[in-house]
């Protein structure tokens, strides 16, 4: 997949693209359905499949001062969209001037002239133009005016619930990883960078990689059996999210994410890794002694290995 930042690129096919546009936060099953339709149609028409996403999130510009939590970072979003098979991903900077485009100007100047749109696929909840007030009806009217095809994709439901990024966000923060995984169509995962830590786990005989999750939504504190994507390899391990209450007083505690990768000794400082949450083993606990903690760490590793043994090792990514 070709990733393009902005609109000024000669790799964008003029008048030869089947396109979809949206934030695609989390790239859940609803997003995947839309992208799959775009990819299928583009191949049939011998055109390029183009996905357009925004950065930063439009709400950060439209509602300054309001906190806009994201399921995944931009880098993580790019990885997940690539797995959907799109030919080109355009990361469009969302700004004040862009937000003030009229619907007609946005469709003509951006989607058609800049992105080569021949056909467009979007979800029912896609809104655009000044004040984000134009929706599917306006898109259909403008598509007819300019002689382009548009398909409005209905939301995906699982049971009685409509799949949405906000719902998945809530499920993850509530600790319902099974529910979140069903709506994502994949395990809950976090992409982050390996950063320097206090090296407490190393002193306990269980070296860990400390993770900066790039402001992604993370599950509640506890110990988890996980799979780890690193340099196209898929490894297995055990992860702790929490404040390490055995070593720190309440006023000194800072939340950390640290993962122990099984049978792995290479230095991965500053590397990016993706962690897939497979199952929760237990809550975070405060132990009476170092020896008691070490014994529990060994038990956690044993339990994590047993959990992960029940499923085949995830395939290395291309």
- The string of pLDDT tens digits covering residues 3-62 is 999 887 777 777 789 999 999 999 999 999 999 999 999 999 999 999 999 998 887 877
* 249 CB-contact burial (10 Å; exposed 0-12 / middle 13-18 / buried 19+): exposed
- Same domain for 55 and 143, yes or no, is yes
The model's pTM is 0.87
- Same domain for 108 and 247, yes or no, is no
Last residue of a domain, one of 158, 180, 213: 158
Confidence label for 98 from pLDDT (cuts 50, 70 and 90): confident
Q: Does residue 183 sit within a domain?
A: no
What is the tally of structural domains in the chain?
2
- Same domain for 75 and 132, yes or no, is yes
Q: Does residue 171 sit within a domain?
A: no
Q: Does residue 275 sit within a domain?
A: yes
Q: Does residue 143 sit within a domain?
A: yes
Q: Bigger pLDDT: 133 or 233?
A: 233
Read off the pLDDT of residues 158-191 as tens digits, 9 standing for 90 and up: 999 999 999 999 999 999 999 999 999 999 999 9
At 252 the pLDDT is 42
Last residue of a domain, one of 104, 136, 158: 158
At 196 the pLDDT is 73
- Same domain for 235 and 130, yes or no, is no
- Same domain for 237 and 113, yes or no, is no
At 245 the pLDDT is 47
Distance, CA of 209 to CA of 259 (rounded, Å) = 5
What CA–CA distances, in Å, run from 157 to 51, 205, 217, 281? 23, 46, 22, 30
- Could you say which DSSP state residue 77 is in? H
Q: What is the mean predicted confidence (pLDDT) over 193-219?
A: 75
- Please state, rounded to an integer, the average pLDDT across all residues of the chain: 86
- Same domain for 305 and 229, yes or no, is yes
Host domain of residue 84: 2-158
Q: What is the CA radius of gyration of the chain?
A: 22
- Same domain for 136 and 199, yes or no, is no
Q: Does residue 172 sit within a domain?
A: no
Q: Does residue 173 sit within a domain?
A: no
At 307 the pLDDT is 93
Give 89's strand partners.
3, 51
- Residue 261: give its domain's CATH number: 2.40.30.30
Q: Does residue 170 sit within a domain?
A: no
- Same domain for 146 and 53, yes or no, is yes
- Same domain for 19 and 147, yes or no, is yes
- Same domain for 11 and 152, yes or no, is yes
Q: Does residue 177 sit within a domain?
A: no
Q: What is the mean predicted confidence (pLDDT) over 246-252?
A: 46
- Same domain for 200 and 268, yes or no, is yes
């Amino acid at each position: 997949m070709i990733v393009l930042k902005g609109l000024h690129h000669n790799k964008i096919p003029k008048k030869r693209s089947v396109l979809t546009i949206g934030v695609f936060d989390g790239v859940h099953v609803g997003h995947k359905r839309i992208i799959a339709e775009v990819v299928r149609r583009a191949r049939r028409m011998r055109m390029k499949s183009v996905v357009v996403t925004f950065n930063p999130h439009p709400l950060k510009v439209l509602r300054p001062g309001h906190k806009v939590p994201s399921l995944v970072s931009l880098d993580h979003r790019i990885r997940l969209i690539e797995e959907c098979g799109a030919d080109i991903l355009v990361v469009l900077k969302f700004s004040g001037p862009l937000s003030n485009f009229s619907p007609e100007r946005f469709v003509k100047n951006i989607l058609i002239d800049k992105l080569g749109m021949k056909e467009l696929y979007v979800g029912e909840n896609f809104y655009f133009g000044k004040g984000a007030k134009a929706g599917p009806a306006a898109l259909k009217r403008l598509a007819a005016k300019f002689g382009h095809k548009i398909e409005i994709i209905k939301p995906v439901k699982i049971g009685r619930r409509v799949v949405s990024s906000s719902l998945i966000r809530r499920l993850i923060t509530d600790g319902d990883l099974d529910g979140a995984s069903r709506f994502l169509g994949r395990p809950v995962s976090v992409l982050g960078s390996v950063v320097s830590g206090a090296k407490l786990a190393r002193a306990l005989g269980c070296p860990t990689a400390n993770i900066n999750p790039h402001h992604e939504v993370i599950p509640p504190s506890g110990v988890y059996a996980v799979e780890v994507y690193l340099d196209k390899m898929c490894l297995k391990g055990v992860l702790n999210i929490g404040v390490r209450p055995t070593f720190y007083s309440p006023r000194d505690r800072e939340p950390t994410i640290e993962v122990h990768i099984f049978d792995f000794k290479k230095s991965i400082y500053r590397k990016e890794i993706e962690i897939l949450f497979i199952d929760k083993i237990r809550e975070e606990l405060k132990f009476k002694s170092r020896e008691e903690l070490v014994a529990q760490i060994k038990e956690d590793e044993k339990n994590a290995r047993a959990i992960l043994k029940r499923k085949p090792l995830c395939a290395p990514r291309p």
